[in-house]
A and B are shown apart, each in its own frame.
Chain A
Amino acid sequence: MHAEEKLTYETWPAEPEKSTLEAKNKFLGFWLFLGGETVLFASLFATYLALKDKVPSADHALAKDLFDLPLTFVATMLLLTSSLTSVYAMYHMKNFNSQKMMLWLGITVLLGLGFLGLEVYEFNHYVHEYHHKFTSSAFGSAFYTLVGFHGAHVTFGLGWILALMIRNYKRGLNLYNAPKFYVASLYWHFIDVVWVFIFTVVYLMGMVG
């Protein structure tokens, strides 16, 4: 089965993301990459936990002073929902429905942008209200690095999905680009899972002390 072949709804395979050798490689390679990313974030979490509330003097804000649960809850909901919408997109990809896939991917991107906006607002808020900066304490460095790394992943993911959408808007699905959409959505899920951990470890555990 050649990747660039034109297919119809009838000839579209059940697992388009794994139907050629290249696609299978991409699928497996990406999962392995996410395994490495997991260790990367685990290292950042460990660093954060070791440096949480480690500040040079008592006038620095600590985790319990900083976090605002409603705000992060909204952010969390946005990101979780975006994961769900990307599932819908993949559902339509499997059904060879390019337009609906694009629609749901578009919604995913909008939700992701909303999340990023809230994050920017949040960081800004900490810096100006609490003087909690990247350079002000080990706690600040660890916080912005962990959460910022996640934010950078969100940004990269948005850019990636957008680029794929623009590139393939006109020509529709084939076995060459379907795996690309699929791994991009895997990446998006991964970002979402990492956020669940950040929400728990940084925010919830930060609130209770």
Chain B
Amino acid sequence: MSTYAQKKGFGSVIWDYLTTVDHKKIAILYLIAGGFFFLVGGIEAVFIRIQLAVPNNDFVSAGAFNEIITMHGTTMIFLAAMPLLFAFMNAVMPLQIGARDVAFPFVNALGFWLFFFGGVFLNLSWFLGGAPDAGWTSYASLAIHSKGHGIDFYVLGLQISGIGTLIGGINFLVTIINMRAPGMTYMRMPLFTWATFVSSALILFAFPPLTVGLTLMMFDRMFGSNFFITENGGNTIIWEHLFWIFGHPEVYILVLPAFGIFSDVFSTFSRKRLFGYSSMVFATVLIGFLGFMVWAHHMFTTGLGPVANAIFSVATMAIGVPTGIKIFNWLLTMWGGSVKFTTPMYWAFAFIPSFVIGGVTGVMLASAAADYQYHDSYFVVAHFHYVIVGGVVFAVFAATHFYWPKIFGTMLNEKLGKITFWLFFIGFHMTFFVQHFLGLWGMPRRVFTFLPGQGFEMSNLISSIGAAFMSAGVIVLLINVIVTSVKNEKVGNDPWGDGRTLEWSIPSPPPFYNFKQLPLVRGLDPYWLEKMEGKKGMTPAEPLGDIHMPNASFIPFVIAFGLFVAAFGALYNGEKSWAVPVIIIGLLITFGSMLVRSLKDDHGFHIHKEELMDDNDKGVKA
């Protein structure tokens, strides 16, 4: 079973990735798929900015524009930001807690394939009669009214990928609770692991309301029910509540891991332990908790009444406090440190002012009475891009450069990395800063064009030019990836030289069993502690012994594929005669393969002690 040292042909590499249950390979799958969807969403964004560069533009039609904005939002949130964060959670979190894999390797693979097939299904809408066009929020009255199958693709695609995310969240939770290495107490976990933990808990409780909302929408559109049909007693506000009970925590599901990545980057490149570690943990948990109490601030103008608006307004402001704590702790982490400005540190450093702008406009938006002005205007567009790009996307870029050597064993070029940074950073502020003003000057969001003479021309043009800079930055990153992969200069365990946490104590990339012997953790930043005592690596917590590993499996792919097939049937239900049989076939594939999984024993395999000792002799890196 020790296939890990063999050279493999292209076909077997593909098969390897289709069947893998190794968290590090699944991370690479997430990185590739998420990166691909990020590019797709980015192209959509560029189309939006071209269309809005000048008034009365006709680069795309009104209907197409609505499809593009819908897919831009949906793709970026569900198919780019979350998978990319999942990529880093998968790649790094098990290493940070000193585990050999996640708790449910099989479920991990299943989660990826569900996300992947959901995303592919959603994007097939472009080729099968038009994409969804009711916005990423897909408010019910418009979504029910929308013709064609766009919304059906949205409902089914998100349902499938949502299940994948949900089980992924459960997996991370169990991994962190049950699989920590000896000595790795909760209060010694790196902040990124903490963020993964809280964010997974949010996923667990936030995704079911989305599942229900999507199910109701699916029933209404495809199976004749009346949840949102006002004439038959339905109520569209239910959708708004369900969507935002999911949608608001979703923001924190995205931004908490970003915070975690930055916390690790700050402390690494300042050569200092994180300032106020326990208050950082506390703030993370508190933000996660409060994240569930504030969804109705997206609905201030829905007409919920002053009592609800006032309560949700104050609750929302309260989130500003733990977020502020974090900002100051990061600053004080660098204070007194020895700060090295590497590419990841560029992103982290630039994140602070960018995110602070997004944060303070968030507090402004929390003020319900004033929000009646901001709501659904370009001010909101500016705000959430400052949070999601300035927070999450910056973090993804930081993590890409930071963890690239750990994932692939080679460093991204620092010079190109800094060029990427400057292009993207300048472009980002150009694009979104002026949008605050556009909103305040009276420009609603989601408009496919604007009429001249309202004072919107100049700022829209500036914004569009900024988008060009951002695109250029992404292109440089792609070049960097290609150049780096071609050169492929191998690096050691701790290529940055300042690694503090367990992932830097093992080879890059790590062997498939991660830790030959589980490490003994003696405090926060365990690897740093050992280094300061002049040791080369971690002290093992166990004698060398057999390692139990899970078997690869093709079943996750098949389960997800079955739902993909069934979704086509549901989509054309009542329209094509083959719809119902296709639903049944798809579900049979899914449930059948689940049954196989349940009934067939799968005990995994063992790597024997002797093989591990061989590795030692050869000094094999992977």
CB contacts (< 8 Å) of B174 on chain A: these are: 25, 28-29, 32
Cα A46 to Cα B241 in complex, Å, equals 10
Are the C-beta atoms of A32 and B204 separated by less than 8 Å?
yes
Q: Mark B200-233, 1 if CB is under 8 A from A, else 0.
A: 0000110111011101100110011111010111
**What residues of chain B lie closer than 8 Å to A25, measured between beta carbons?**
103-104, 174, 178-179
The 4 closest A-B pairs by CB, nearest first: A54-B233, A138-B233, A141-B225, A40-B208
Q: Measured between alpha carbons, how far is A36 from B166 in the docked complex, in Å?
A: 9
> Could you tell me the dominant secondary structure of chain A's interface residues?
helix
21 A-B pairs, CB-CB below 8 angstroms? A25-B174, A25-B178, A28-B103, A36-B170, A37-B208, A40-B212, A43-B209, A43-B213, A43-B242, A44-B212, A46-B241, A50-B235, A51-B227, A56-B232, A136-B232, A137-B226, A140-B225, A140-B226, A145-B219, A145-B225, A167-B599
Binding site for B on A (CB under 8 A): 3-4, 21, 24-25, 28-29, 32-33, 35-37, 39-40, 43-44, 46-47, 50-51, 54-56, 134-142, 145, 160, 163-164, 167, 176, 180
Contacts of B63 in A (CB 8 A): none
Q: Is B614 an interface residue (CB 8 A)?
A: no
Decide: A141 near B226, CB < 8 A? Known: A21-B178, A40-B212.
Answer: yes
* Residues of chain B lying within 8 A (CB to CB) of residue A140: 225-226
Decide yes or no whether B617 CB sits under 8 A from chain A: no
Q: Give min CB distance, A23 to chain B, whole Å.
A: 10
Known: A25-B103, A163-B598. A43 touches B208 (CB 8 A): yes
A179 and B616 CA atoms in complex are apart in Å by: 37
B224 vs chain A, min Cβ distance (A): 4
Q: Mark B600-611, 1 if CB is under 8 A from A, else 0.
A: 010100000000
With a cutoff of 8 Å between Cβ atoms, the chain B residues found around residue A37 in the complex are 208
B321 touches A (CB below 8 Å): no
Whether B238 sits at the interface, judged by CB under 8 Å, is yes
Q: A28-B178, A56-B231, A134-B224 are in contact. Are A164 and B211 (CB under 8 A)?
A: no
Q: A142 contacts B227, CB within 8 Å?
A: yes
Known: A29-B174, A36-B166. A135 touches B235 (CB 8 A): no
Nearest chain B CB to A33 CB, angstrom units: 6
B226 interface neighbour in A4, A36, A138, A167, Cβ under 8 Å = A138
Q: Given contacts A46-B241, A51-B233, A163-B598, could you give 12 more A-B pairs where the C-beta distance is less than 8 Å? A: A24-B178, A25-B174, A32-B174, A39-B205, A43-B242, A43-B245, A56-B231, A56-B233, A138-B233, A141-B226, A145-B227, A176-B603
In the complex, what residues of B have CB within 8 A of residue A21's CB?
Answer: 178-179
Residues on the A chain within 8 Å of B599, using CB: 163, 167
Kindly list chain B residues whose C-beta atoms are within 8 Å of the C-beta of A135.
Answer: 223-226
CA distance A25 to B220 in the complex (A): 38
Q: A35-B205, A43-B212, A163-B599 are in contact. Are A141 and B227 (CB under 8 A)?
A: yes
The interface size bin for chain B is 35 or more
- Structural contact, B171 and A51, CB atoms closer than 8 A: no
The distance in angstroms between the C-alpha atoms of A33 and B211, with both chains bound, is 14
Contact between B204 and A35, CB atoms less than 8 A apart = yes
- A33 and B104 contact, CB distance less than 8 A: no
Chain A CB within 8 A of B532 CB:
no
The majority secondary structure among interface residues of chain B is: helix
A46 to B231, CA, bound (A): 20
CA distance A25 to B180 in the complex (A): 12
- Interchain nearest-CB distance for A7 vs B (Å): 15
A138 touches B205 (CB 8 A): no
**Assembly CA distance A50 to B170 (angstroms):** 30
The verdict on B69 contacting chain A, using a C-beta distance below 8 Å, is: no
Q: Which of B107, B174, B235 has the most CB of A within 10 A?
A: B174
State whether B234 touches A51 (Cβ < 8 A). yes
Give the Cβ gap from A44 to chain B, nearest Cβ, in Å.
Answer: 6
Determine if B209 and A32 form an interchain contact, defined as CB atoms under 8 angstroms apart.
Answer: no
Determine whether B595 belongs to the interface, using a CB cutoff of 8 Å to chain A.
yes
A25 to B532 alpha-carbon distance, docked (Å): 35
Contact B225 A134, beta carbon cutoff 8 Å? yes
Question: Which of A24, A36, A136 interacts with B208 by CB under 8 Å?
Answer: A36
Residues of B within 8 A of A (CB): 103-104, 107, 166, 170-171, 173-174, 177-179, 204-205, 207-209, 211-213, 215-216, 219-220, 223-227, 229, 231-235, 238, 241-242, 245, 595, 598-599, 601, 603
How far is B231's CA from A195's CA once the two chains are assembled, in angstroms? 31
Write the nearest CB–CB distance from A147 to chain B, whole angstroms: 14
Closest Cβ–Cβ distance, residue A178 to chain B (whole Å): 13
Q: A29-B103, A163-B598 given as contacts; is B238 within 8 A of A50 (CB)?
A: yes
Cβ contacts under 8 Å, B107 to chain A: 29
Q: Which residues of chain B have C-beta atoms less than 8 A from A51's C-beta? A: 227, 233-235, 238
Q: Which B residues are CB-close (under 8 A) to A24?
A: 178
Closest to B595 in A: A163
B226 touches A39 (CB 8 A): no
Q: Report the separation of the CA atoms of residues A138 and B234 in the bound assembly, to the nearest whole angstrom.
A: 5
Taking CB atoms, residues of chain B closer than 8 Å to A32 are: 170, 173-174, 204
Q: Inside 8 A of B104's CB, which chain A residues have their CB?
A: 25, 29
Distance between Cα atoms of A141 and B227 in the complex (Å): 7
Find chain B residues with CB under 8 A from A136 CB.
226, 232
Contact of A137 among B205, B219, B233, B245 (CB under 8 A): B233
* Inter-subunit contact A141/B219 (CB<8 Å): yes
Cα distance A47–B208 when bound, in Å? 13
- Contact B204–A36 (Cβ < 8 Å): yes
Smallest CB gap from B550: residue in A: A22
- Distance of A137 from chain B, by nearest CB (Å): 5
B211 and A40: CB pair below 8 A?
Answer: yes
Cα–Cα distance between A142 and B209 once the two chains are bound (Å): 15
Complex: chain B residue closest to A184, CB-CB? B598
Tell me the complex Cα distance, A44–B213, Å: 9
Shortest beta-carbon distance, B247 to chain A, in Å? Answer: 13
Q: Given the known inter-chain contacts A29-B103, A134-B225, please indicate yes or no for A54 contacting B234, CB distance below 8 A.
A: yes
Shortest beta-carbon distance from B573 to chain A in Å: 13
Residues of B within 8 A of A164 (CB): 598
For the complex, give the distance between the alpha carbons of A176 and B212 in Å: 34
Q: How far is the CA of A24 from the CA of B174 in the complex (A)?
A: 9
Asked if A29 contacts B170 (CB within 8 A), the reply is yes
Taken together as a complex, chains A and B put the C-alpha atoms of A35 and B202 apart, in Å, by 11
Given contacts A29-B170, A43-B242, A176-B601, are A138 and B208 in contact (CB under 8 A)? no
Query: CB-CB < 8 A to B225: which residues of A?
Result: 134-135, 140-141, 145
- Measured CB to CB, the nearest residue on chain A to B212 is A43
Write the chain B residue with the least CB distance to A142: B227
CB-nearest residue of chain A relative to B175? Answer: A25
Q: What's the nearest-Cβ distance from chain B to residue A27, in Å?
A: 9
Roughly how many angstroms separate A140 CA and B595 CA in the complex, as a whole number? Answer: 33
Q: Which among A29, A145, A167 is the interface contact of B171 at CB below 8 angstroms?
A: A29
A47 smallest CB distance to B (angstroms): 6
Residue of A nearest to B224 (CB): A135
B417 CB, min distance to chain A CBs, angstroms: 38
The residues of A that contact B219 with a CB separation of less than 8 Å are: 134, 141, 145
B216 and A47 within 8 A (CB): yes
Q: Residue on A with the closest CB to B606?
A: A2
Looking at A25, A33, A138, the one whose CB has the most chain B CB atoms below 10 A away is A138
